Homo-oligomer: A and B are copies of this chain.
Amino acid sequence: MGDKMTQETKEAVEKILTDYLERNKHRKTSERFAILNEIYSHNGHFDIEGLYVMMKNKKYRVSRATLYNNIELLLEAGLVIKHQFGKNLAQFEKAYKFKQHDHLICSDCEKVFEFCDPRIMQIQKMAEDMLNFDVFHHSLNFFAKCRILKQNGVCEHKKSVVK
Count how many chain A residues have C-beta atoms less than 8 Å from C-beta atoms of the other chain.
40
| A136 x B144 contact (CB < 8 A) | yes
Q: A128: nearest residue on chain B (CB-CB)?
A: B144
From the candidates B117, B120, B132, B145, name the one contacting A134 in the complex (CB within 8 A).
Answer: B145
> Which residues of chain B have C-beta atoms less than 8 A from A146's C-beta?
132-133
Residue of B nearest to A146 (CB): B133
Contact mask A14-58 → B, CB, 8 Å, 1/0?
000000000000000000000000000000000000000000000
Q: Min CB distance, A160 to chain B, in Å?
A: 10
Q: Is A148 an interface residue (CB 8 A)?
A: yes
**Choice from B122, B124, B131, B139 contacting A113 with Cβ under 8 Å:** B131
